[in-house]
Amino acid sequence: MQIRVDIPDELAAALEALGLEAYRQRRITGYQLRTLLGIPSRYQFDGFLKEHHVEKYTYEDFEKDLATIREFRETQG
C-alpha cells in the first residue's frame, strides 16, 4: 500500500535537510534517505548527493581502508 501526502515546500526542504544530515552522520542508510525523499533510483540518488555536496566515501572510510591495507601488509611478511 502506498500513501501520498502533499506537504508545503518549506516543510519538504526541512525534511530534506534533516535527512541529508542524518545520512552524513550515518544514522540512516542511502536506501532510507531515498525512500524518505521519494527518489526512485540509485542513479538519481547519486545525482542528488552530488548536487548537495555529500560524499559517500568519507575521510573515516579512507582511514579504515588504509589501516586494513597496512594490517594486511604486516601479515604478509
Instruction: Give pTM, 2 decimals.
Output: 0.68
- Continuous segment of H or E residues that includes residue 37: helix 30-37
Query: Each residue's pLDDT tens digit in the chain (77 positions)?
Result: 778 888 899 999 999 999 999 999 889 999 999 999 999 999 999 999 999 998 877 788 889 899 999 999 999 86
DSSP category for residue 40: -
DSSP string, 2-29: -------HHHHHHHHHHHHHHHHTTSS-
DSSP category for residue 56: S
pLDDT at residue 48, rounded to an integer: 95
What gap in Å lies between CA 77 and CA 67, rounded to an integer? Answer: 16
